[in-house]
Chains A and B, each alone.
Chain A
Amino acid sequence: MSAITWKDRLAGQMDPDWEAEIDQFEAQVELRKQGKLEDKVFAETRLRRGVYGQRYDNGERFDGFATRQLPFADVPTKGPETLWDAPGMTRIKVPYGGVSPQQLEVLSDLAEEYSDEILHVTTRQDYQLHFVHIEDTPDLMRRLAAVGITTREACGNSVRNVTACPLSGVCKTESFDVSPYARALMEFLLGHPDVQDFGRKFKPAFSGCEQEACGLVQLHDAGFIARVKDGKRGFKVVVGGGLGAVPHQAHVLSEFTAVEDFLVEIQAVARVFARLGEKKNRNRARIKFLIAELGIEEFKRLVVEEIKTVPPDPRHTEFLEDLPVTGGAAPRPPQRLDGGAKPPGFDVWHETNVSSQRQEGYAVVTINLPLGDLTSRQGRALADIAREYVGDNIRTSVEQNMLLRFVSEADLPALYSALDVVGLAIPGAGTIVDVTSCPGTDTCKLGIAASRGLAAELRTRLATKSASLDDAVKNMRIKISGCFNSCGQHHIADIGFYGNSRGIDGRRVPHFQVILGGQSRENAAQYGMAMGSVPSKAAPEVVDALTEGYVQGREKGETFQEWIGRLGKRNVRGIIQPFMKVPAYDAQPGFYTDWSDAREFTIGDLGIGECAGEIVSLFGIEVMKAESQVFDAQCSLEEGDYEAAEDHAYRSMLSAARALVRMEYIDVTEDPSEIVTQWKTRFFDTERFFDRFAKGKFGQYLLDWHAKPVPSGDRANAARRVEEAQLFIEASHGCEARLAAEQAALEVPAGA
């Protein structure tokens, strides 16, 4: 009755190139199984196709008492430290987050058959499936390819998903609809020979206007902001932005590039990046480092030169004659919502989840997906709803929500009821309740604290009191990352958090660093600053204290950011301070576990947690000094004294390094050179300072500075250095935690 394999069943329904590539991937899976393909080579291949590793895929997991081996088959492996059988994550990139009902149905099927019935929308408008087995991935890709979706180049050192504001085409403030151009860029660059040789990933983004947040172009490797000049369409082009551990604001490459020139220009950028960008050191390989090194003026010059050498290619302008279709017609005529019965709950939902669009009589509906998650059943229901009301006009947003565009206003009550039946009519989209989070410790290998757990907790707490919240508070945004890597975009929230940990009396306690004053408007033009770490379990109280303080203390019309700015870091720190203390284990053991987890907390699943006795931590006392210095650095930064900020930041790194050295060599002096020398020989050269993922990255910050400790007095440099100091201190905490664990294991007389 049915074909035996998806390969046969779908033959001819896929783009022939994609089909051949999937067959090739399947063959590589087979080769790897037979041991005929190297570990590293296979890892690269699979990453290029969006097939990622996931937490515990090295086969080790701390179960709350001891580190257990998960008996996955370990021959062969999928890459260094990634066991073959361990399930992983598949990232499906959808340009500018646009899907059709049919595509949504296929995604739902795949989640049900290969994953855990959950479709996850990421902060980059991608979809992710978790717990997928490597052998299932070729069929998964075929089924996607048959409906025009590729997972190609979703990961690895390639051009990542092209994002765009989810309102493009319907927005009132945009210059023009950027989606066709985003699509053209994606089609042009996908598999292009000039983008295969990058040292690191490259993320492009489009925005229809300068002032709104939706495109977040400032934090991308390349950003395109729509502009019209003398009646001609073009883009302001920015390059070298990025969040990551140390955030960079993008630089302007060109104030106006006409649409017929923009593909040539980006191709030239790609060629310069491929040629000159760092290849060996992953930690310095993003384009932002190249630009920081060359300076934007030199980079611009190189791009202009490069454009002259780019071979002519008709594809640079061909798309303009026939712009790709990116939405499809609205199935229903525009009609105002006049009177008529409204279902219960409609008004509350309407206030936050519906906005009118440029086209008269049509509205945009935001579906508030908690933490970006949606079930297969909901996906199918949504496909039905879309078919009836909006056709192909479904988008995802960087806030991990979905948008239905071109909803005839008269249909809103019926649409609301249809969504409500399947649990998709949650109000509060784009308000403080709509917390965004990266995967964190749930599935990410790098996660330190449970960002999703905290996000879920905050959602629940805020939703129950949502009705009583002040309007200004409702409009705030909370974003959470599981570690400093900022996939949750914590730098651009009013209140941001990133996971870290602290050692207290020989135990680890999950913490979140509080980041305040970031901004997502104006395409994320302002990044927030670290205010101090609080225990995970105290984070909700911190949110309460900050929002209440704001409501009581603000002046008329003052935004949260302005309020934070006016108060100054020291006063803000005063609000957070009471929550920073960790209660003793016996009094409140709950502080020693993370949200949504029953296990005693550990970091990195390295087997720490069951510690041998109490350790009076000399390190703990010493590192306090570093923490207070980095705080002083932030204050100086805020006060505009950039040289002082740089100096404090440098000193704080020295203090943290000294804290480590003192654990072994108590008599180390305060002399910077001695500290650095001692730290370098003991911790850096021995790689004891290195963690499994960042390796020597954070240690290098200290070495670089110490080599040339001359303050630049420049704001951007100072801000970066303060960030680096913060990360160096984090890394020192991490190093101490690993050493404590080793110590516990080493307390055996060797060979006795």
Chain B
Amino acid sequence: MAEKGNLRAALAVFWSFFGVRKRRDYDDDAQSLTQAQIIIAGLIGGVVFVLTLLLVVYLVLQFVK
């Protein structure tokens, strides 16, 4: 249960970074996720976003050199 919730939160945050979410999924999120879960997932999502970009930059520079 808890694990499924965390996955849901991660998914919700992923879609939010893209900016798109189906109304039905959004309503489900709103039902099943707590505010704390979403905030923590959002912060982790921010960190993951930065780390991913750093990785991409690293790979690009490897490729160029």
A, B co-complexed: no
Interface residues, chain A, with chain B CB atoms under 8 Å away: none
* Chain B interface residues (CB < 8 Å from chain A): none
